[in-house]
Amino acid sequence: MNRERFLELDRSGQGLTEEEWEQGYHWCLEWDDMLVGPGQEEALFCGCNHPKIEEWKQSEEGIRMRKEMEQRLEKLDADHFNEMFRQTDGE
């Protein structure tokens, strides 16, 4: 799977080969049939039970990406909280 092929599939919304599916690429139900494959953050949320994606989630890369994403989300939460606190402060 290269970038061109990915974009072509993503644009056409069809034509995924069996080989590509076996690599983990699939139309993800979790993302409204968006093309999702291993190595994408979206795949961390994939609930399709695709065997390759499940395998990828447990891989070093998958675990690292999940950690990084969780750290980002925690930071977002903190920013959001601070924002809300500022808005209600002084009322």
- Residue numbers at the binding site for Zn ion (CB under 5 A): 28, 46, 48
Give 30 or 70: the residue with its C-beta nearer to Zn ion. Answer: 30
Taking the C-alpha atoms of 33, 35, 40 and 41 in order, what is their torsion angle to the nearest 10 degrees? -20
Helix axes 60-88, 51-58, angle to 10 degrees: 80
Minimum distance from residue 46 beta carbon to Zn ion (Å): 3
Minimum distance from residue 12 beta carbon to Zn ion (Å): 18
**53 with 38: CB under 8 angstroms?**
yes
Give 10 or 74: the residue with its C-beta nearer to Zn ion. Answer: 10
Give 5 or 52: the residue with its C-beta nearer to Zn ion. Answer: 52
